[in-house]
Amino acid sequence: MEILGQGRIRKMQVLGLEPEVQYALPLDETVLPLNTRIGQPIRLVFQGEIRCLNCGRVTRKSYCQGHCYPCSQRLAACDLCILKPETCKYHQGQCREPEWGEANCLQPHVIYLANTSGLKVGITRRSQIPVRWVDQGAVQALPLLEVDERMHAGLVEVELARAMADKTNWRALLKGEPASIDLASLAEEHLQQLEWPEIAVRRLPLDGEVRLRYPVLEYPQKIVSHNLDKQPVLEGTLLGIKGQYLMLDTAVINLRKYGGYVLEVHG
């Protein structure tokens, strides 16, 4: 096997959507296309070093998907409100990095329905469509509503999540394609029942459904998750890619979990 690249990894990039999602893996300055590797042997070797994706320092443990502890405590991108947008404290003057908040959170956000391992509700910055859906492994996605900032999107999501899931079952995601869902009909039903928060919410036309196809030769017969901290080498035939998962015939791995890990990739 030859060395295809080496460096700190970040989450896989989306290079295109046709005829299926086109993936690439960043390894520091190298961007390694992955679709052409499907059906071929591949080996990932953890080099025993984790370097913060923000400051570059070596850290014994990765925090917030690729940061050292000091950066995880300092950066707004690592604050709890990223996971729970409704808890945003920008308007209380408590944002860790107000300028970052203005550029990323005080921007139009979309509330959507998606079909990942089944029906779920989610939110994303408008500029992150459709990348957010790809990262979640959605095969269908339908924008429902638009609001002016992330906190407002979180408030709406909380209301919708009372009636449907807001998380993906990752094992079900990797077992095969979910059954098709009539997202527009479900959206109409739930929007009529929604108790609107006291914020400006704009309804979007329910004719904007997006369907996504992933580069998968076959789904694994048994879902075995690989842990690079316990087993630094993952080797096998690459069967497919979905969401942020590589599916090999030996195991599956969520690459987003290992942001900042220095890997050597062979193929």
pLDDT surpassing 90 at residue 243: yes
Residues 166 and 222 in one domain: no
Residues 36 and 152 in one domain: no
Mean per-residue pLDDT, 172-197: 90
Q: In the chain, how many domains are there?
A: 2
Write out the residue range of the structural domain in which residue 12 sits. 3-73+216-266
Extract long-range pairs of 94-103: CB within 8 Å, 24+ residues apart. Answer: 100/75, 100/76, 101/76
Residues 82 and 207 in one domain: yes
Lowest mean pLDDT among 38-52, 141-155, 181-195, 202-216: 181-195
Mean per-residue pLDDT, 154-160: 93
Percent residues over pLDDT 70 in the chain: 100
Mean per-residue pLDDT, 88-92: 93
pLDDT surpassing 80 at residue 195: no
Residues 207 and 83 in one domain: yes
Residue 194 confidence (pLDDT): 80
Mean per-residue pLDDT, 218-240: 96
Domain boundary among 211, 226, 252: 211
Residues 159 and 101 in one domain: yes
State the DSSP code for 12: P
Residue 197 confidence (pLDDT): 72
**Global pTM?**
0.94
Residues 83 and 204 in one domain: yes
Render pLDDT for 198-207 as a digit per residue (tens, 0 to 9). Answer: 789 999 999 9
Residue 23 confidence (pLDDT): 98
Residues 110 and 189 in one domain: yes
